[in-house]
Amino acid sequence: MGQNGKKSTVLLIYPPISKHERYSSEIGEAGGEQIPLGIYYIASYVRTHGFHVHCIDAEAQRLENAEIISKIKEISPDIIGLSSSTVAFQRTLTLAQEIKTTFPHLPIVIGGPHATSSIESVMDNPVFDYLIYGEGEETFADLLHALEGQKDSLSSIDGLAYRENGALKINSPRDYIQDLDTIPFPAYDLIPDLTVYHPDPSNYRFTPVVHIITSRGCPNHCTFCARTIFGQKLRQRSPENVAEEIELLVKQYGVREIAFFDDTFTIGKSRIQRIFTLLQEKGIQIPWSCFSRVNTVDYETLAFMKKMGCWKMRFGIESGDESILKTIRKNIDLKTAREVIRNCKKLEISTTGLFIIGHPGETKESIEKSIRYALDVPFDDIVVTINTPMPGSVQYDEVEQYGTLDRTNMSNFNFWKPFVPYGLDEKYLLRSQKRMYTKFYFRPRIFLLK
């Protein structure tokens, strides 16, 4: 690590993803590309500690492993950091093996959602020298300092797993970062071309469009969701901090649209008002979209959002069956959802209904209710995925109570290969998904809207 007193050079890599994996909802909406914010947040944070950082987004750049190896030779880093979701883990492992074969003495750190939820199984692979679980910024910086001899020992670094004399050591969890304003904005200057990032074509109007996250942690209790990285407690960036980042993106990088990718952007009516009042004062008003929950917005809030440039909202409905919603602890009311979508329609805010087929306890009758609900409520678009209990979720731990799940191939955890509830089969789930899309989009009203 670091020679002649110079700070170490760090290379952070978001792994290449196959076409099949690319259409996973865990990674992003089908057909779109997102900035892997995790590695760019870590990049900006460790730079404040004096380290030299390079980033490679192999997914966006469509790089093969051989091309990544060539770039590593050019950069000559002192340490490699890899981030991986569950669906991409096998490819991440293959890349790590090729890196270790070519550069046997180069330390490799693994982090991200899959590493956090599956510490032991990930570290069963000897190519990974260190594993960071939970929020990565502070832990990664501490690890870099330790490897340069500026910290007492690895055992004092919370959120770190490593081997000592061949035995796996898992240190205590790190406390969540309470003041998110202390984290620098993502290292946008390390992104070669912002224009390669965008949601799928129906979810943006102008490019460059950049997605940002203004909070961490989700206070809701949906059983299908893994909250392993950011936890249960909601932590929000200040309106001033959010407005400052948007100003940077607009004025320095020419961004023309923002997609808020918080799990629920609309928690806190006064916060939303403050963010966009600040942007108005800066002379900034651009189109934007967000994810929301139907129990967090009223007509007045929606009207304000529309006035401030909101043109698209995505709502997690999940099911049209009230009993299923109770089983998965969604904590929304379908009557309220219908009213909110109708209010959006009045205000000319486009809406996407997010549905899942194959919940625990799902039946043919409950699937039919979901299809009827999607057709009856005036959504502009729908996204229908197959239920996939992710490692770290309540459903993953309880899956045998409700059905069968093949845990042997993580590349199938892509929201298209189904968990199968008792009483149903895989073919029926996939046919139902196709039928829901067909019934929704092949209607005269939808054709007239398009």
Full set of structural domains in the chain with CATH: 9-170 (3.40.50.280), 198-449 (3.20.20.70)
* pLDDT single digits (tens) 356-409: 999 999 999 999 999 999 999 999 999 999 998 888 888 888 888 988 888 877
Q: Please state, rounded to an integer, the average pLDDT across all residues of the chain.
A: 91
In the structure, what pLDDT confidence band is assigned to residue 19 with cuts at 50, 70 and 90?
Answer: very low
| Residue 24 pLDDT | 38
| Residue 448 pLDDT | 52
| Residue 87 pLDDT | 84
Among 8, 395, 16, smallest CA distance to 227 is for 395
| Residue 18 pLDDT | 55
| Residue 231 pLDDT | 79
| Residue 146 pLDDT | 95
* pLDDT single digits (tens) 54-112: 999 999 999 999 999 999 999 999 999 999 988 889 999 999 999 999 999 999 999 99
| Residue 269 pLDDT | 95
User: Tokens 């224009």 sit at which residue?
Assistant: 195
In the structure, what pLDDT confidence band is assigned to residue 151 with cuts at 50, 70 and 90?
Answer: low
pLDDT at 26 over 80: no
3-state class percentages of the chain: helix first, strand second, coil last, to nearest 5: 40, 20, 40
| Residue 152 pLDDT | 67
DSSP string over 35-47: --HHHHHHHHHHH
What distance in Å separates the CA atoms of residue 138 and residue 182, rounded to the nearest whole number? 11
What distance in Å separates the CA atoms of residue 306 and residue 287, rounded to the nearest whole number? 9
Give the mean model confidence (pLDDT) for residues 122-147.
96
pLDDT at 141 over 50: yes
pLDDT at 299 over 50: yes
308 CB neighbour count, 10 Å cutoff: 17
Q: What percent of the chain has pLDDT over 70?
A: 92
The set of residues, in sequence order, having a beta carbon less than 8 Å from that of 43 and lying 6+ positions away, is 10, 12, 53, 55, 186, 187, 190
What distance in Å separates the CA atoms of residue 369 and residue 321, rounded to the nearest whole number? 6
In the structure, what pLDDT confidence band is assigned to residue 32 with cuts at 50, 70 and 90?
Answer: low
* pLDDT single digits (tens) 405-446: 888 777 777 666 768 899 999 999 999 999 999 999 998 765
pLDDT at 238 over 70: yes
* pLDDT single digits (tens) 176-196: 999 999 999 999 999 999 988
* pLDDT single digits (tens) 263-276: 999 999 999 999 99
Strand pairing report for 9-14 and 52-57: parallel
Tell me how long the chain is.
450
Q: Are 380 and 59 in contact (CB under 8 A)?
A: no
Helices (DSSP H) in 282-419: which residue ranges?
299-307, 322-327, 334-347, 364-376, 394-398
What distance in Å separates the CA atoms of residue 368 and residue 361, rounded to the nearest whole number? 14
DSSP state for residue 325 in the 8-state scheme = H
What distance in Å separates the CA atoms of residue 273 and residue 64, rounded to the nearest whole number? 45
What distance in Å separates the CA atoms of residue 19 and residue 31, rounded to the nearest whole number? 10
What distance in Å separates the CA atoms of residue 407 and residue 397, rounded to the nearest whole number? 12
In the structure, what pLDDT confidence band is assigned to residue 20 with cuts at 50, 70 and 90?
Answer: very low
- Six-digit token string for 304: 């304000």
Whole-number Cα distances in Å, 152 to 143, 156, 314: 11, 7, 47
| Residue 403 pLDDT | 87
The set of residues, in sequence order, having a beta carbon less than 8 Å from that of 428 and lying 6+ positions away, is 364
